Amino acid sequence: MDFFLQLLVSGIVVGSIYALVALGFVLIYKATGVINFAQGEFLMVGAYVCLAMVSQLHIPFWIAFILTMLVTVVLGLIIERLALRPMIGEPIISIIMLTIGLSSVLKCAVLIVWGPNNRVYPQIFSQVPIHLGPVVISQVYIWSVGFAMLFLVLFTLFFRYTSAGIAMRAVADDQQAALSMGISVKKVFAMAWCIAFLVAGVGGVFLGNINVVNVSLGFFGLKVFPAVILGGLDSIPGAIVGGLTIGILEAMTGGYLDPIIGGGTKEVVPFVVLVIILMVKPYGLFGTEEIEKV
Amino acid sequence: MSAHICGDYKTSYKEDMVLFQTFASKFWLGVFLVLLCVVPCFLDDYLLYVCNMIGIAIIGALGLNILTGFTGQISLGHGAFLGIGAYASAYMVMDLNFPFFVALPCAGLVTALFGMVFGIPSLRLKGLYLAIATLAAQFIIEYLMVHVEGITNGVLGKMVDFPEIMGFSFDTDLKYFYLVATLAIVATIISNNIVRTRSGRAFIAIRDQYISAEVMGVNLFKYKLAAFAFSSFLAGIAGSLWAHYVTIITPEHFTIGVSIEYLAMIIIGGMGHIIGSIFGAIFMVLLPEVLRTMSGALSGEFPMIVNLFAAIKEGVFGLIIIGFLVYEPDGMAHRWQMIKAYWKLWPFSY
């Protein structure tokens, strides 16, 4: 039972970061109809930028964290302007390949600046674990879940109550109608990429604190796909539910199946689930079904 | 030499669909084939190795182009299908003692079967969702390649012999070149002809407007599966040739990176153009080799360039894809047509 609870907790922690990255996916998809294969690299860049500020420039962690958010927003703007805007109206395959190309370029930049070696954050959160009944939780886990939840709530409120959020929803719903209501679709697109880069960067900082920081952090982006598909590509609550489910599922298979079958099962089970979901419910749990016509 | 044609004077569809439109195109193709037979005898082993890799890549890229370029079904799992072909062929030749000329088509058929299984979701899924489903296929097949150790020998890798047909062993780069070149030519001819048949037109109709295609009587399920099967068949052949050439295969050779490389080939070459697969394959195989030569030449002045080679390769790869998508979305095949059109009427183009 203790083992189960321990797995559940680590599943929830990883799952909440999945949810955060999935939120970025969903946002971009909702607002611009693009699926972003570079989301994992955004996460990696966020982790590296914050790490560089903390360990090379010796800026206190929380200031570095806020500066990282600023940097990611600026990077999001640049990427949207240079690479994504010319692609409006191009076929899906081109846009997929463009984001894949983008991920290569970001990986290259990180490798050139920081090199291929593993890096670790200096100790930021207290090492003393917290006991919740039988379960032992380290403090960094609590901070990660807390921040992931904070951002998820903030963005849900943002979409519901601010005019910028409502504008984004309007663009997602019908671009032409939004244009005729005086909403700048270009600004909304730029904002979607900024927010996506921002949430991925935040996820990266916490993931970097939990694990080591290296280039393979980029694969995290691919692992978020099952979460997004489970929840539905265009649903924010779906991203949260999907992220947590996949995180827990992964922790459970890692804990119970890996010792029996051998390493790597943890990585592949979410994708098996993904195929099953796609066969049964192609638009996920909360996604809107598309009605197609000629 | 083709200057006598300066417009379309065709009066029947049959004339329009002839493979060789002019005498000149036949002539230059003949010259090219003769050069293809003669020139390799004067190349060194490294250049022959590059040529062989290009030939194998052409076969794989032709398959992906039929599926993605002509039928519009995005596949992110082509690398894994190459792997299935490689392992199937290796298992049949090494463990079951099949002769190579039986194992090669069998490897293609096994891969086609896998392709059809993973193509079944394509009836319900489109665009992005299909891309993600094939991504899942890629990861699942990669996992199987590591874990079904009875066939694949897991992460340790499987040794494969050079192929032997009727006692003749293709054990040098030069001999292998003729094998690869022949198969690449056959694959090109078959692909070119499939595009001209009812199936090919059905593929294109599905890509352009699948609902209209269905209304017009194109059986979507049948033709989508056919596209998956043909594409994976060629991937299997390419994988088999690759396995017998490098003689040791491990699951690391068939990762998502390979799938992306093949997609890049058809994007850069030109989607929906047979010749685009050939241009793209040549480009993508030459790119790392050229970069390696350049970094070798520059390493005297900038010693750190050797350590950064992997990163630079990755970055150049990404920039080239982005550049092509933004500035030349129709790929090199389109540029090639423009150049041909320019020379057709040169110097009196207006």
End-to-end CA distance of chain A: 55
Q: How far apart are CA B68 and CA B119, in angstroms?
A: 12
Q: Is the dihedral of CA B18, B19, B25, B29 positive or negative?
A: negative
| Residues on chain A touching B212 (C-beta within 8 angstroms) | 294
Residue A247 one-letter amino acid? G
Residue A288 covered by a domain: no
pLDDT tens digit string along A254-279?
888 777 776 677 788 888 888 888 88
Give the number of domains in chain A: 1
Residue B5's pLDDT is: 56
Residue A239 covered by a domain: no
- For residue A293, is pLDDT > 70? no
Task: Please check whether residue A60 is in contact with residue A197, taking contact to mean a CB–CB distance below 8 angstroms.
Answer: no
Half-sphere exposure of A102 (CA within 13 A, CB side): 29
Answer yes or no: do A108 and B132 touch at CB < 8 A. Answer: no
Residue B228's pLDDT is: 93
| Residues on chain A touching B329 (C-beta within 8 angstroms) | 90, 94
Answer yes or no: do A102 and B322 touch at CB < 8 A. Answer: yes
Confidence at B301, pLDDT banded by 50, 70, 90: confident
Q: What is the DSSP string of B194-257?
A: HHHSHHHHHHHHHHH-HHHHHHTT--HHHHHHHHHHHHHHHHHHHHHHHHHHHSEE-GGGGSHH
List the alpha helices (DSSP H) in A33-173. 39-51, 61-79, 92-114, 139-161, 163-173
Confidence at B6, pLDDT banded by 50, 70, 90: low
Task: Please check whether residue B79 is in contact with residue B258, taking contact to mean a CB–CB distance below 8 angstroms.
Answer: yes
Task: Please check whether residue B220 is in contact with residue B206, taking contact to mean a CB–CB distance below 8 angstroms.
Answer: yes
pLDDT tens digit string along A22-39?
888 888 887 777 888 888
Average pLDDT, rounded, for chain A: 84
Q: How far apart are CA B102 and CA A136, in angstroms?
A: 59
- For residue A87, is pLDDT > 70? yes
Residue B75 covered by a domain: yes
Task: Please check whether residue A145 is in contact with residue A16, taking contact to mean a CB–CB distance below 8 angstroms.
Answer: yes
Query: Both tokens of residue B189?
Result: 């001819």
Longest CA pairwise span in chain A (Å): 61
Give this prediction's pTM. Answer: 0.88
> CA triplet A111, A112, A113: central angle to 5 degrees?
95
- For residue B3, is pLDDT > 60? no
Instruction: Please give the C-alpha separations between residue A222 and each of A8, A216, B139, in angstroms, as whole numbers.
Output: 22, 11, 10
Answer yes or no: do A294 and B121 touch at CB < 8 A. Answer: no
Please name which of B302, B227, B243, B229 lies closest in space to residue B88, comparing C-alpha atoms: B243
| Residues on chain A touching B140 (C-beta within 8 angstroms) | 268, 271-272, 275
Residue A270 covered by a domain: no
Q: Which residue range forms the structural domain that includes residue A108? A: 16-217
Query: Both tokens of residue B238?
Result: 């390419």
Nearest-CA distance from B124 to chain A in Å?
7
Nearest-CA distance from B17 to chain A in Å?
27
Q: How far apart are CA A20 and CA A148, in angstroms?
A: 6
Q: How far apart are CA B156 and CA B242, in angstroms?
A: 18
Residue B150 one-letter amino acid? G
Chain B residue at shortest CA distance from A87: B326
Please name which of B19, B60, B32 lies closest in space to residue B285, comparing C-alpha atoms: B60
Which residues, 6+ apart, have CB-to-CB distance to B33 below 8 Å?
Answer: B185
pLDDT tens digit string along A136-169?
777 888 888 888 888 888 888 888 888 888 888 8
- For residue B1, is pLDDT > 80? no
pLDDT tens digit string along B85-122?
999 999 998 888 888 888 999 999 999 999 998 888 77
Residue B167 covered by a domain: yes
Give burial (CB, 10 Å; 0-12/13-18/19+) of B222.
exposed
Please name which of A11, A7, A28, A205 lies closest in space to residue A102, comparing C-alpha atoms: A28
pLDDT tens digit string along B125-160?
777 788 888 888 898 998 888 888 778 877 788 888
pLDDT tens digit string along B281-300?
999 999 988 888 888 788 77
Please count the other Cβ atoms lying within 10 Å of the Cβ belonging to residue A192: 25
Residue A201 covered by a domain: yes
Answer yes or no: do A274 and B311 touch at CB < 8 A. Answer: no
Answer yes or no: do A278 and B121 touch at CB < 8 A. Answer: yes
Query: Both tokens of residue B262?
Result: 């093949």
Residue B146 covered by a domain: yes
Reported ipTM: 0.84
Name which of B267, B311, B318 is nearest A112 (Cβ-Cβ).
B311
Residue B2's pLDDT is: 45
Residue A19's pLDDT is: 87
Residue A7 covered by a domain: no
Task: Please check whether residue A64 is in contact with residue A53, taking contact to mean a CB–CB distance below 8 angstroms.
Answer: yes
- For residue B173, is pLDDT > 70? yes
| Residues on chain A touching B264 (C-beta within 8 angstroms) | 97, 101
Answer yes or no: do B312 and A102 touch at CB < 8 A. Answer: no
Answer yes or no: do A105 and B315 touch at CB < 8 A. Answer: yes
Mean pLDDT for A215-224 is: 82
Q: Which residue range forms the structural domain that includes residue B148? A: 25-256
Residue B236's pLDDT is: 94
Confidence at A72, pLDDT banded by 50, 70, 90: very high
Residue A133's pLDDT is: 72
Please name which of A180, A179, A224 lies closest in space to residue A200, comparing C-alpha atoms: A224
| Residues on chain A touching B312 (C-beta within 8 angstroms) | 108, 112
Give kind and range of the element (H or E) at residue A131. strand A130-132
